[in-house]
Amino acid sequence: MAAATETTSVEAKESQVDAKAEFLSNPLLADVVFPKFDEVKPEHVVPGMRALLGELHKQIDALEAAVEPTWAGLVEPLERISDRHQRTWGVVSHLKGVQDTEALRKAVEEVQPENVALGLRLSQSRPLYEGFRALREGEGWGQLTPAQQRVVEIELRDFVLGGVALEGEAKERFNAIQQDLAQSCMRMCCMRMRMRMRAWTAPWGGPAAGRRMPRV
């Protein structure tokens, strides 16, 4: 038992070291104002996103463990988590939209389910949902600006629409549908891009020949 515990501890430390190294070396995770589009390659997507998702899950764990129903204690840290995730995944999505190579497509397909899972976890977090409810019903509600109150109300709405009240088979079914929708959307985008590229390089010469490119 002691040997197993020690092995687990060593593996955890090695995982932390690997994640730290990934953040330092992967251009996808660079903490810069302007993304390094020219440096991000398909091989950076899977390890980079997995390192980021692992770190964000830890931040969510910490936030759920000590929910403080205030703007500074709940809304701002959750916004930082969401912003970090969206900015990084946005780089991947943009590159896929303008450079749809086979290698990049495979990388996105591999990490997409894990990416969707993070969003589902956030939208179905009971501790965070209850924290927003407490903020909405608390004494500090009147001290928030109208814009801040609107943000809280939208978050509460999104929790409900995201399945926070679902349990058991209903929750599993909902999450499976969300994963299927994400995969279908990705396949549709890939198909649409391939059709556009095929139309652009068609023998009839495309727009350069004075003809209108087919709408797809």
Q: pLDDT digits over 140-150, tens only?
A: 999 999 999 99
pLDDT tens by residue, 198-209: 665 655 555 544
Query: How crowded is residue 196: how many other Cβ atoms within 10 Å of its Cβ?
Result: 15
Its pTM stands at 0.78
**Contact, 124 vs 163, CB < 8 A?**
yes
pLDDT of residue 214: 47
Residue whose token pair is 């927003």: 132
CATH number, position 176 = 1.10.1370.40
Please indicate, yes or no, if residue 135 is contained in any of the structural domains.
yes
Please indicate, yes or no, if residue 203 is contained in any of the structural domains.
no
Q: Token digits for 86?
A: 């969206």
Please indicate, yes or no, if residue 181 is contained in any of the structural domains.
yes
Please indicate, yes or no, if residue 95 is contained in any of the structural domains.
yes
| Closest to 175 measured CA to CA, from 132, 122, 133 | 122
Average pLDDT over residues 56-69: 97
Residue numbers of the domain that contains 133? 7-193
Please indicate, yes or no, if residue 148 is contained in any of the structural domains.
yes
How many domains is the chain partitioned into structurally? 1
Please indicate, yes or no, if residue 215 is contained in any of the structural domains.
no
Please indicate, yes or no, if residue 201 is contained in any of the structural domains.
no
Q: Which secondary-structure segment (H or E) carries 200?
A: helix 168-200
**How does the average pLDDT of the chain come out, rounded?**
86
Please indicate, yes or no, if residue 77 is contained in any of the structural domains.
yes
Lowest mean pLDDT among 90-99, 178-187, 198-207: 198-207
